[in-house]
Amino acid sequence: MPTPRLPLRLVLLAAVAIGAVLVLALLAATVNSVLEFYQRLGELPLWLRAPLVAVAALVLAALAWLVWKLARPARVVPPDATVPVSRAEVDARLETLRARHAETAALESELAELDRRHASGELYVALFGEISTGKSSLIRALAPEALVEVDVRGGTTREVRHHRGRLPDGRELVLADVPGSGEVGGAVHEQIARDEALRAHAVAYLAASDLTRAQHAELAWLARFGKPIVLALNKADLYDEAEREALLGRLRAVDGAAAVVAISAGGSERFERLLADGRREAVERERRPEIAPLLDALVDLTAGGAAALEPAREAAVLAEVGRRGDELARATAAAEAERAVVKYTRRAVVGALAAVAPGSDILIQGAIGTALVRELARIHGVAVRELDVEGLLTRVGLTVRNTTAIVLAIAGNALKAFPGLGTLGGGVLHAIAYGLVFDSLGHALAATLAERQRLDADDVEARVRALLAQPSRERVERVARIALDAARGASTDGGIPQPRR
């Protein structure tokens, strides 16, 4: 007769009930002992009570501090934080990058443009803002002879164009019209605009209504470079007096801008005209620009002339070139590391195939492992001691020993992807396994060195373990191909690798 099974729900209910009773009992006991302790404390003479209370308070404070230290969320440095950097430092970084054959042309031309503008002594003002906020229309109003394209469609301006204009006080300036930001898929144009904004002495940031979250972020990014900014509410003609004042009030509350003004850059308007004979005619007419408040703000903001604003402009460009130089250095190191990993994986595979005597392969791999660690450390500019390298290899070796079965299974599976390999024998399987170990060690170590800038064995080991546990198909096939190429090469040489037990 089958035994009647208790419904799972009932079992769970019972467990929860028992748990609740236990928790309540524990709570009551704790409260009770606290009360008792408190009572006893009250009975103690003051000379004994006072130090006891003080010690308890200290312990509690230390505990609270510890909890705070452990639980506090890590401080996140925004990725685009601007780090001030000197010209000499930037030049030195570029020199190092050139020596590593990195593509430094763009950064060099940025520095050349920095020097060219410095020598020209001209005042540069960039217009900046989302698409269709009226940047090109504003250029047309500021520099009437300028040939600029204005369109109702967003994304009309695709590159930076410079135009000469004149401030009301008679000073000349160079105006930069730039592509609008916020266009779908317009990351490249946005970067062009941002770069030009950094190159300018001052920026007129155009908006056509309240700022969106993206516009807030853009303005904050620009302000972090210490750029003098006029925030201009364009298309003010579209709002009545009350709406305009309310909008301006909100824009004034935004951080980052030195001045906030309302303008009408102009643009053109279309309307229908009713003719005397009853016909209707579509007419397009230029709107009259009203930009005096912006011009006045620019006069104030640039009162010291280009020379006074030059140090801040240079600092902004250098900070950005420095940031990009760092990015390029990281990418260059990553590419070098990748090549090194492939090189040593191949050597490990070839070594494993050549090692006929049992046990000799371990020695060969030890030497190759040391060389791999040394080369990756050199690429990432991390100094390592002999002892650390040995320690790391021993630890990873132990990890690998524990996972050998997995690695061999993976290698076996990989072989199935290459038909007709029966003749090559178990040596190849072994070699693929070795290759996977080296490939995993190399990638793990490269990632640790790039992220932590030191040989953190714990981190490397954890990463190796993760990589070996779940190797991607692409990785396994790549290593398998290296092994097969090496094995075929060996067999055409006549030295067919022996199957291993």
Ligand X SMILES: Nc1nc2c(ncn2[C@@H]2O[C@H](COP(=O)(O)OP(=O)(O)OP(=O)(O)O)[C@@H](O)[C@H]2O)c(=O)[nH]1
Using CB under 5 A, list all residues that contact Mg ion: 135-136, 156-157
Given candidates 235, 313, 380, 475, which one binds ligand X under the rule CB under 6 A? Answer: 235
Q: Which positions from 157 to 186 touch ligand X by CB under 6 A, shown as an x/- string?
A: x---------------------xx------
Partners of 128 in the beta sheet?
A: 205
Instruction: For residue 156, state whether it binds ligand X (rule: CB under 6 A).
Output: yes
Q: Which positions from 253 to 292 touch ligand X by CB under 6 A, shown as an x/- string?
A: -----------xxxxx------------------x-----
Instruction: For residue 215, state whether it binds ligand X (rule: CB under 6 A).
Output: no
Angstrom distances, CA of residue 350 to CA of 26, 325, 479: 65, 37, 11
Q: What H or E segment, with its residue span, contains residue 106?
A: helix 105-120
Minimum CB–partner distance for residue 189 and Mg ion (Å): 10
Given candidates 238, 331, 362, 417, which one binds ligand X under the rule CB under 6 A? Answer: 238
Pick what 82 binds: ligand X, Mg ion, none; C-beta below 5 to 8 Å, kind-dependent: none
Instruction: Look at the alpha carbons of 103, 200, 234, 267 in this order and tell me if their dihedral is positive or negative.
Output: negative
Pick what 430 binds: Mg ion, ligand X, none; C-beta below 5 to 8 Å, kind-dependent: none
Pick what 266 binds: Mg ion, ligand X, none; C-beta below 5 to 8 Å, kind-dependent: ligand X
Instruction: For residue 155, state whether it binds ligand X (rule: CB under 6 A).
Output: yes
Given candidates 111, 154, 216, 239, which one binds ligand X under the rule CB under 6 A? Answer: 154
Minimum CB–partner distance for residue 264 and Mg ion (Å): 16
Nearer to ligand X, 219 or 319 (CB): 219
Given candidates 135, 201, 430, 443, which one binds ligand X under the rule CB under 6 A? Answer: 135
Pick what 152 binds: ligand X, Mg ion, none; C-beta below 5 to 8 Å, kind-dependent: ligand X
Nearer to ligand X, 154 or 226 (CB): 154
Q: Which two tokens stand for residue 242?
A: 């009350």
Do residues 135 and 128 lie in contact, with contact meaning Cβ atoms separated by under 8 Å? yes
Binding range to ligand X, per CB under 6 A, among 17-25, 128-136, 417-425, 488-496: 128-136
Nearer to ligand X, 131 or 389 (CB): 131
**CA-CA distance, 22 to 28, in Å (whole number)?**
10
Q: What is the DSSP letter of 180?
A: P
Alpha helix (H) residue ranges in 302-358: 305-354
Binding range to ligand X, per CB under 6 A, among 149-157, 197-205, 248-256, 409-417: 149-157
Minimum CB–partner distance for residue 235 and ligand X (Å): 4
SS (H, E, C) 59-78: HHHHHHHHHHHHHCCCCCCC
**CA-CA distance, 381 to 269, in Å (whole number)?**
61
Minimum CB–partner distance for residue 373 and Mg ion (Å): 54
Given candidates 132, 215, 302, 345, which one binds ligand X under the rule CB under 6 A? Answer: 132
Please calculate the CA angle 377-443-424 and round it to the nearest 5 degrees.
120
Instruction: For residue 355, state whether it binds ligand X (rule: CB under 6 A).
Output: no
Minimum CB–partner distance for residue 137 and Mg ion (Å): 8
Nearer to Mg ion, 180 or 369 (CB): 180
Angstrom distances, CA of residue 35 to CA of 38, 40, 46: 5, 9, 18
Instruction: DSSP for 403-457, please give it.
Output: HHHHHHHHHHHHHHTSSS-GGG-HHHHHHHHHHHHHHHHHHHHHHHHHHHSS--H
Minimum CB–partner distance for residue 319 and Mg ion (Å): 27
Given candidates 133, 345, 365, 403, which one binds ligand X under the rule CB under 6 A? Answer: 133
Phi, psi of 232 (to 5 degrees): -110, 120
Do residues 450 and 379 lie in contact, with contact meaning Cβ atoms separated by under 8 Å? no
Do residues 104 and 331 lie in contact, with contact meaning Cβ atoms separated by under 8 Å? no
**CA-CA distance, 100 to 432, in Å (whole number)?**
32
The residues binding ligand X (CB under 6 A) are 131-137, 150-152, 154-157, 179-180, 234-235, 237-238, 264-268, 287
